[in-house]
Amino acid sequence: MKKLTRKDFLKTCVLAVVSVFHLPARLRGKEATPAAGGRGVQTTAPEQEKMIAICGLGCSECPAFIATQKNDDKMREETAKKWSEMFHQDIKPGDINCDGCVSQSSRLFNYCAICEIRKCGKEKNVKNCAYCDEYPCEKLSVFLKNVPEAKATLDAIRGLIHRR
């Protein structure tokens, strides 16, 4: 399998997070309820806190993370097939194993294991970039230009931190 480029990884992350909202609620393992104003679906999982990656992406919303946590081989196969087609990569179901960027596990999706933002956050021992004194650094700013949802998440966390 060829190595993912940063650009391909960003596409993977964004599309992975977006694609999870197209999964039926039963596959996400969450109860579906009408969202405020009747738009979309709001999911709740009281037993599982949302896992935020160091960069601000939602690990717990990623199909690779969900398939791993549920040990769901069918979902791994479906995700590998979908991502292989989307990213013109040869992704095998065995590649769809990830415990999330902030976990201590060695099970990470391809690029997460070599991600420079993740590496930096681990070295600085921060939960995510919102907790870093240098937020937002240049490296993160480049990433966040392509993923405004991650920026919104980190900004919200940073706002909560500074209210304390």
Residue 67: per-residue pLDDT: 96
The residue-averaged pLDDT of 34-58 equals 57
The residue-averaged pLDDT of 20-34 equals 37
When the pLDDT of each residue in the chain is averaged and rounded to a whole number, the result is 77
The residue-averaged pLDDT of 66-72 equals 96
The residue-averaged pLDDT of 125-141 equals 94
> What is the Cα–Cα distance from 164 to 161, expressed in whole angstroms?
6
Residue 5: per-residue pLDDT: 61
Q: Which long-range contacts (CB under 8 A, 24 or more apart) does 126-130 make?
A: 126/54, 127/52, 127/54, 127/102, 128/52, 128/53, 128/54, 128/55, 128/56, 128/102, 128/154, 128/157, 129/54, 129/55, 129/56, 129/154, 130/56, 130/154, 130/155, 130/157, 130/158, 130/161
Mean pLDDT is highest, among 27-36, 100-109, 126-135, for: 126-135
Judged against a pLDDT cut of 60, whether residue 12 lies above it is answered with no
> What is the Cα–Cα distance from 93 to 18, expressed in whole angstroms?
20
> What is the Cα–Cα distance from 83 to 89, expressed in whole angstroms?
7
Residue 19: per-residue pLDDT: 39
Instruction: Band the pLDDT of 9: cuts 50, 70, 90.
Output: low
The residue-averaged pLDDT of 31-52 equals 44
Residue 111: per-residue pLDDT: 80
